[in-house]
Structure 1
């Protein structure tokens, strides 16, 4: 039976998270590099209309089981397209949702594959079992950190974050400000980090710009500011189109989100990352970035392995092409 789409993308898309939108854009571009056209790609999304406008692929309402099942019946493959979707720190339901979609795919005769994954944290045994079962169902899996590779007992490909492969216009501009990013974690780490930044020797010497990568980041950083924990001169929740200009004008960065670090690396902005999760620690170590150890916040040093970025982008494309070939094999 001929199916309408080659790939149905599944991730945390259309949910207001800038990092996941970067992953969506990167995955679609990598699929196109493998020879697919936009009309051969569909996407599960929390905001189908916005996803259609932003990514130019066919949108499916991720909350409509009928629409999801119909899409799986009309797609050759289901692609878990990057990100930390199997985790239960922010939502107990997340592993159940993605496991259910994978099981439905199997019932619909739709092959499953996964790229650029981070697995965990998974505090509940049942959620670890769901993740293991879902990834065992995949034709091939690539992960972006060593913790995830260990979780899968090495039965996967270790690659880099897909967003690194996105083109980035690094504008040559005078460094005018310092970027900060805090996300909700355990109610302590994010506030400790904000206090440490406020006490740093350089915090008042440059304009501080708070960058919200998610709607929850925006709310948190407003709380941090209103409680007098850490002053922010400007707080923004940027569109993807603003990112090149925003990061290119920064003198340095201090933040929690993985893709805050990815963007800093792409823009060659010295960055200190706050290791709330192993994927963040792995990324900083992989690229020679600075990790905050809970003490004084020092001005970050430049990325030590910046020169390897071009080769890493080529490797991401090669790894993705390998996964694509395996998934599409009859």
Structure 2
């Protein structure tokens, strides 16, 4: 029997650690009988790093060739169908899903976070392609409720990155001070004034906890400038870490006492390793995570103007017991495996 080929479609090869973690999680959960072809912004790097076939996500010829030689098409996790930044993203992903459906491939929307969908056109487009899917899993209850309002059946389970394997990062052993990770990203809500406020709060927090600040740009092209500005302001006892391997990035948090994060997957990776997390929400997906696993934090739009209020909240969390127990984390990991069960059921001959 010839192997089943599956096209994996997501925001892969674009230098975003969260989306790379989703790809690693999907490859980890994909049945062994399936041969993946990953659509990537950097197919050479994707092939080298993960040992899988890959093609240019922007090459019409390469994408059509991949679809023509495959039996399965998978939207591979994340907030692919959203129009908060532009309508280009939902048009691109819906277009590929529609092409796969027209060619008779088994189509799966996997571990999706649907929305925000602010425009009627993108809501209609999303609904139409989801109606044509053979199987759908979502990573939060708000997405499940939206699909239910459209009378579309889906399975809801925690983000699959909760269950991603991890590797230790021994080079952090040389840092004797307690380590605190800070993951900020470029975004309109992180204005110059808010960044200055957060920087002052980090400096005050560091002084009062005698901690070493790990500044982690999850998408270096967007995040490194912010990390450098904070590093310069702190002056000492800080490091900027760019880690390409998602498993090592997750393992990093085994040695981190606390994480302060804007990016969704910085919080998931940290919490999955038993690290206390403080969220700075710039997007509904982060707010949903805060609500669903009871993470402390601020909506960035409502960030206090007084840095001392922020640093005090961080100090209290720094000295607090672990917010998520080992039992709670294991439950999230176990339930995340529901996404794997969906793949086994939906993909033919598995």
The secondary structure found in structure 1 opposite 2:335 is helix
TM-score, normalised via structure 1 length? 0.87
Q: Does 1:320 align with 2:330?
A: no
Deviation at 1:327, TM superposition (A): 4.1
In structure 2, the CA distance between the partners of 1:323 and 1:270, relative to structure 1 (3 Å rule), is same
Is residue 126 of structure 2 the alignment partner of residue 131 of structure 1?
Answer: yes
Match of 1:44 in 2: 39
Deviation sequence 1:51-94 (CA, Å, 0-9, x none) = 11122221121111111111111111100111111122334311
Q: Please show how residues 219-230 of structure 1 align to structure 2 within 5 Å.
A: 219-222=224-227, 224-225=229-230
- 160-169 vs 84-93, which deviates more? 84-93
Gaps of 5+ in 1: none
Q: In terms of mean alpha carbon deviation, does 42-51 or 303-312 score higher?
A: 303-312
- Per the alignment, residue 247 of structure 1 pairs with 253
Provide the C-alpha distance between the structure 2 equivalents of 1:3 and 1:190, rounded to a whole number of angstroms: 56
Name the count of aligned residue pairs.
Answer: 324
Q: Structure 2 matches for 1:262-277, cutoff 5 A?
A: 262-277=268-283
Shift of 1:47: 0.7
Unpaired segments ≥5 residues, structure 2:
none
2:81 alignment partner in structure 1: 86
Counterpart contact for 1:170–1:267, Cα < 8 Å? no
Measure, in 1, the Cα distance between the counterparts of 2:121 and 2:99: 19
The answer as to whether partners of 1:3 and 1:76 remain within 8 angstroms in 2 is: no
Offset of 1:244 from its aligned partner?
A: 4.7
| Structure 2: distance between partners of 1:98 and 1:191 | 35
User: Any idea what the Cα deviations from partners look like across 1:137-178, whole Å, max 9, x if unmatched?
Assistant: 211111111221122126211111111111224689666321
The CA deviation at 1:129 is 1.9
**How large is the RMSD of aligned CA atoms in angstroms?**
2.8
Q: 1:30 to 1:190 in 2, by over 3 A?
A: farther
What CA distance in whole angstroms lies between the structure 2 residues aligned with 1:51 and 1:324?
A: 24
With over 3 angstroms needed to count, the CA separation of the structure-2 counterparts of 1:216 and 1:24, relative to structure 1, is: same
Contact 2:216 2:227 (8 Å CA) reproduced: no
- Tell me the TM-score normalised to structure 2 length: 0.82
Partner of 1:26 in structure 2? 25
- Displacement of 1:257 in angstroms is 0.6
Which one has the bigger helix percentage? Answer: 2
SS at match of 1:119: coil
CA spacing shift, 1:249–1:319, aligned 2, 3 Å? closer
* 1:300-311 → structure 2 map (5 Å cutoff): 300=317, 301=320, 302-311=322-331
Residues 194, 224 of structure 1: 8 Å contact kept: no
Task: Give the Å deviation of 1:315.
Answer: 2.5
Conserved in 2, the CA contact under 8 Å of 1:105 and 1:112? yes
